[in-house]
């Protein structure tokens, strides 16, 4: 059954949600507050790097099922469902800033027809579904929580082939209507109360961040005892209760979700009177991981006055997003220690890090460098011409924070090599 859906906010989540619902056959109107963005999107020009998204946006526009308008009030009048996909950035105290969400709710309230279901997809603290209800002040409009579990780079695939769909509602009829939107999607659909749905999103991200900090901590243990982390993790992952996924050691975790949501769940717990010490440890291990990388570089060349080549700036491969990128955090700390850092990334051409020079190709980053750091796991770094790099560097040292390169091939060319959790 086709429904009319309005999506408020055209960031990663909103745009993916809108384009995917249009792909599933619904009529979708997406609203944003930036006129140039709306114009570009209506012309099929997608400003973010997301596999398959441009194709879906163009498909939707051509089929007449997807349009973009300026201002939320212009999107919601005829809608059966309104998806709120506005940002919930972190405030100074670590909690989520809900001002965008509340003002979007207030703005649309007078324009909704009776019976429209408002669905919140933004990541929000427990209780926010009720805050949206209060901001709208409309007893005839049910508000439902439907958290997203999208990864950047694979958001379209994650939306269309999810592990599960979680719906939190006090109004069971409204929950059933939201569930029906996903008829074309094969996945378990779980209906619960709003607080459980909201907590589920934070708990899932916090658990994944825990898994990653645990992995990086085990890598540190492996370094100390002379074990190989890759083999240790392989042996662990065969236990199906643990699994192989999300066990890659790295320079720490980053991105737009994990750091923000980890800090938020600590603050949510604190406000509710629980000291989430485990999660504080998870965040501390991550911060320590950035320093561990910097110390590895410092162990092969004194950082003060050194030139460091940095391959990778995005927070992970497959995206141009540098929000809370471990690569940039490592760069900042090396610059603070007196190093000159030259960075290259296939997708990132601009960053806001004082003193970080961006170069156009990976070889320019290596030229004259005292050490090379691999910070993002882009495939193309595996196929670099190592002879060319060896000839151009001032000293042959590689710190491979993603265990990506062929250490044997590097050592044969006279490089010192340090990965994560293996020698
Ligand atoms: C994450 C969640 O996966 C997603 O479900 C949620 O909705 C949003 O947050 P995303 O931020 O896109 O998605 O990135 P993800 O692929 O999960 O990676 C997060 C960070 O962990 C990156 O810095 C990545 O490099 C790191 N990572 C991930 C590892 O270091 N090792 C791994 O094995 C996996």
- Tell how far the Cα of 267 is from the centroid of ligand 1, in angstroms: 21
In this model, does residue 61 exceed pLDDT 90? yes
CA–CA distance, 15 with 103 (Å, rounded to integer): 20
Confidence of residue 97 (pLDDT cuts 50, 70, 90): confident
| Whole-number pLDDT of residue 127 | 87
Taking phi over 0 as left and psi of -120 to 50 as alpha, with beta for the rest, 283 belongs to alpha
Residue with the smallest CA separation from ligand 1 atom 17 is 151
- Tell how far the Cα of 315 is from the centroid of ligand 1, in angstroms: 9
Percent of the chain with pLDDT strictly greater than 70: 100
Q: Which of 87, 156, 165, 316 to mutate to test the pocket of ligand 1 (most atoms within 8 A of CB)?
A: 316
pLDDT in tens, 254-271: 999 999 999 999 999 999
Average pLDDT in the 18-37 region? 97
CA–CA distance, 296 with 309 (Å, rounded to integer): 14
53-63 and 12-23 helices, crossing angle to 10°: 50
**What 3-state DSSP class applies to 418?**
strand
Q: Mean pLDDT over all residues of the chain?
A: 96
Verdict on whether the full-model pTM lies above 0.85? yes
Measured CA distances, 416 to 73, 84, 290, 344, 423 (Å)? 60, 51, 20, 21, 10
Architecture category of domain 4-192 in CATH: 3-Layer(aba) Sandwich (3.40)
For the CA of 402, the nearest atom of ligand 1:
30
In this model, does residue 95 exceed pLDDT 80? no
Beta bridge partners of 356: 341
| Whole-number pLDDT of residue 123 | 79
Catalytic residue at 85? no
| Whole-number pLDDT of residue 329 | 98
- Tell how far the Cα of 51 is from the centroid of ligand 1, in angstroms: 16
Average pLDDT in the 3-7 region? 98
Measured CA distances, 162 to 149, 362, 417 (Å)? 8, 36, 39
| Whole-number pLDDT of residue 93 | 80
At which residue do the structure tokens 């909103």 appear? 14
Of 30, 200, 257, 366, which one is the catalytic site residue? Answer: 257
pLDDT in tens, 191-209: 999 999 999 999 999 999 9
- Ordered by start, the domain boundaries in the chain are 4-192, 260-418
- Tell how far the Cα of 101 is from the centroid of ligand 1, in angstroms: 24
Residue with the smallest CA separation from ligand 1 atom 28 is 246
Confidence of residue 88 (pLDDT cuts 50, 70, 90): confident
For the CA of 247, the nearest atom of ligand 1:
33
User: Is residue 169 within 8 Å of 145, Cβ to Cβ?
Assistant: yes
CA–CA distance, 214 with 170 (Å, rounded to integer): 36
**Count of CA atoms in the C-beta half-sphere (13 A) of 339:** 28
For the CA of 152, the nearest atom of ligand 1:
12
In this model, does residue 96 exceed pLDDT 80? no
| Whole-number pLDDT of residue 357 | 97
In this model, does residue 299 exceed pLDDT 80? yes
Q: What is the largest CA-CA distance in the chain?
A: 72
CA–CA distance, 420 with 227 (Å, rounded to integer): 11
Residues with CB under 6 A from ligand 1: 148-152, 205, 208, 212, 246-248, 250, 253-258, 315-316, 326
In this model, does residue 143 exceed pLDDT 90? yes
The encoded tokens of residue 213 equal 């900090």
- Tell how far the Cα of 236 is from the centroid of ligand 1, in angstroms: 20
Superfamily per CATH, domain 260-418: NAD(P)-binding Rossmann-like Domain (3.40.50.720)
Q: Do domains 4-192 and 260-418 have the same CATH topology?
A: yes
What one-character-per-residue DSSP string does 34-84 give? -HHHHHHHHTT---S--TTHHHHHHHHHHHT-EEEEESTHHHHTT-SEEEE
Average pLDDT in the 232-247 region? 97
For the CA of 153, the nearest atom of ligand 1:
12
For residue 159, report the phi and psi dihedrals to the nearest 5 degrees.
-70, -45
- Tell how far the Cα of 253 is from the centroid of ligand 1, in angstroms: 7
Q: Which of 212, 252, 264, 330 to mutate to test the pocket of ligand 1 (most atoms within 8 A of CB)?
A: 212
Q: Which of 255, 286, 287, 377 to mutate to test the pocket of ligand 1 (most atoms within 8 A of CB)?
A: 255
User: Is residue 12 within 8 Å of 50, Cβ to Cβ?
Assistant: yes
């Amino acid at each position: 059954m086709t429904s009319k859906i309005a999506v408020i906010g055209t960031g990663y989540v909103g745009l993916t949600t809108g384009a995917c619902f249009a792909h599933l056959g619904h009529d979708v109107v997406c609203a944003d507050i930036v006129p140039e963005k709306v114009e570009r999107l209506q012309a099929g020009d997608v400003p973010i790097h997301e596999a398959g998204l441009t194709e879906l946006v163009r498909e939707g526009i051509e089929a007449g099922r997807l349009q973009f308008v300026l201002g939320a009030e212009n999107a919601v009048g005829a809608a059966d469902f309104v998806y709120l996909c506005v940002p919930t950035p972190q405030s100074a105290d670590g909690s989520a800033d809900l001002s965008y969400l509340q003002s979007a709710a207030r703005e649309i309230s007078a324009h909704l027809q009776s019976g429209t279901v408002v669905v919140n997809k933004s990541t929000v603290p427990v209780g926010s579904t009720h805050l949206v209800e209060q901001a709208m002040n409309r007893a005839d409009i049910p508000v439902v929580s439907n958290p997203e579990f999208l990864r950047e780079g694979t958001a379209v695939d994650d939306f269309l082939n999810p592990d599960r769909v979680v719906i939190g509602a006090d109004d069971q009829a409204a929950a059933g209507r939201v569930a029906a939107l996903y008829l074309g999607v094969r996945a378990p659909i779980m209906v619960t109360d709003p607080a459980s749905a909201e907590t589920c999103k934070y708990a899932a991200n916090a658990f994944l961040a825990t898994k990653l900090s645990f992995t990086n901590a085990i890598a540190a243990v492996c370094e100390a005892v002379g074990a190989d982390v890759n083999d240790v993790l392989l042996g662990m992952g065969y236990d199906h209760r643990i699994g192989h996924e999300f066990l890659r050691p790295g320079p720490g975790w980053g991105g737009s979700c994990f750091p923000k949501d980890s800090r938020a769940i600590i603050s949510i717990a604190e406000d509710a009177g629980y000291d989430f010490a485990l999660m504080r440890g998870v965040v501390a291990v991550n911060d320590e991981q950035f320093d561990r990388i910097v110390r590895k570089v410092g162990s092969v060349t004194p950082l003060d006055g050194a030139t460091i080549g940095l391959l990778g700036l995005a927070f992970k491969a497959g995206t141009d997003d540098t929000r809370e990128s471990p690569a940039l955090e490592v760069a900042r700390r090396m610059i603070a220690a007196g190093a000159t850092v030259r960075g290259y990334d296939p997708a990132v051409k601009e960053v806001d890090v004082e003193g970080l020079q961006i170069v156009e190709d990976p070889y320019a980053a290596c030229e004259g460098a005292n050490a090379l750091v691999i910070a993002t796991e882009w495939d193309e770094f595996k196929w670099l011409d190592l002879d060319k790099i060896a000839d151009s560097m001032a000293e042959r040292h590689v710190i491979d924070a993603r265990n990506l390169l062929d250490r044997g091939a590097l050592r044969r060319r006279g490089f010192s090599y340090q990965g994560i959790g293996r020698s």
